[in-house]
A and B are shown apart, each in its own frame.
Chain A
Amino acid sequence: AQTVTQSQPEMSVQEAETVTLSCTYDTSENNYYLFWYKQPPSRQMILVIRQEAYKQQNATENRFSVNFQKAAKSFSLKISDSQLGDTAMYFCAFMKHGGSEKLVFGKGMKLTVNP
């Protein structure tokens, strides 16, 4: 079974600064996907970024980028130029390739961006 660990339950950052959210996972699979989801106070789950395990290049989406270390089973999210709207819960998630495409989530981390 796969597990996802987010060891930092809460972080805060000043507006315009950079922050890194950590995530580690455990799996015996070789083909899988990793995701970061954002959940603002509205409760809506929003996909932030996705990484395919077979790709060595780290994914980037505007101010969001990941540091994917497959051997270390580490998948951190970097948010550059933090904005007040980035305040949210952030969840790291794992999906095995193929089959039922179930997501396994970490427990989440609350990020607060301060003005």
Chain B
Amino acid sequence: DAGITQSPRHKVTETGTPVTLRCHQTENHRYMYWYRQDPGHGLRLIHYSYGVKDTDKGEVSDGYSVSRSKTEDFLLTLESATSSQTSVYFCAISTTSGAYNEQFFGPGTRLTVL
């Protein structure tokens, strides 16, 4: 699992409340990513980070913000959760070994916004 953990693993919250999801890695990889998975859409990139304090938007970034103050932690924040943000959220890291690039995923967080 490339040493990736996500917390919480499940969360139920109400519309309008702030929510923060945490991704933690143990291997000092430079690149980290947040994806969301919805039926009929596969996985879509929300935000990614290419180093401490270096982040950029992905395909579906509206309503989300991220922060990375340490190499090992990448936080995803929903400032004011909406029902459309009910989804499964995956964190991933990218590893490079010679010419090869692979992404490994955390176990996912199921978020329900009521």
| Chain A positions near chain B (C-beta within 8 angstroms) | 4, 6, 33, 35, 43-45, 47, 50, 52, 91, 93, 95, 97, 100-108
Tell me, rounded to whole Å, the shortest Cβ–Cβ distance linking A26 to chain B: 15
Are A100 and B88 within 8 A (Cβ)?
A: no
From the candidates B35, B40, B58, B102, name the one contacting A47 in the complex (CB within 8 A).
B102
Residue total for B at the interface (Cβ-Cβ under 8 A): 27
Name the CB-closest residue of A to B88: A43
B56 within 8 Å of A (CB atoms):
yes
Are A101 and B104 within 8 A (Cβ)?
A: no
Bound state CA distance, A65 and B102, in angstroms? Answer: 18
> When each residue 23-49 of chain B gets 1 if its CB lies under 8 Å from chain A and 0 otherwise, what string results?
000000001010100001111110010
Are B101 and A105 within 8 A (Cβ)?
A: no
B74 within 8 Å of A (CB atoms):
no
B56 CB contacts on chain A under 8 angstroms: 100
Give the secondary structure class of B's interface. Answer: strand
From the candidates B50, B101, B108, name the one contacting A95 in the complex (CB within 8 A).
B101
From the candidates B35, B42, B104, B107, name the one contacting A106 in the complex (CB within 8 A).
B42
B94 within 8 Å of A (CB atoms):
yes
- In the complex, 13 of the A-B residue pairs with CB atoms within 8 angstroms, ordered by the A residue number, are A35-B103, A47-B103, A47-B104, A50-B102, A91-B42, A93-B43, A100-B31, A101-B103, A102-B45, A103-B33, A103-B45, A106-B42, A107-B42
Bound state CA distance, A71 and B2, in angstroms? Answer: 34
B99 within 8 Å of A (CB atoms):
yes
A106 CB contacts on chain B under 8 angstroms: 42
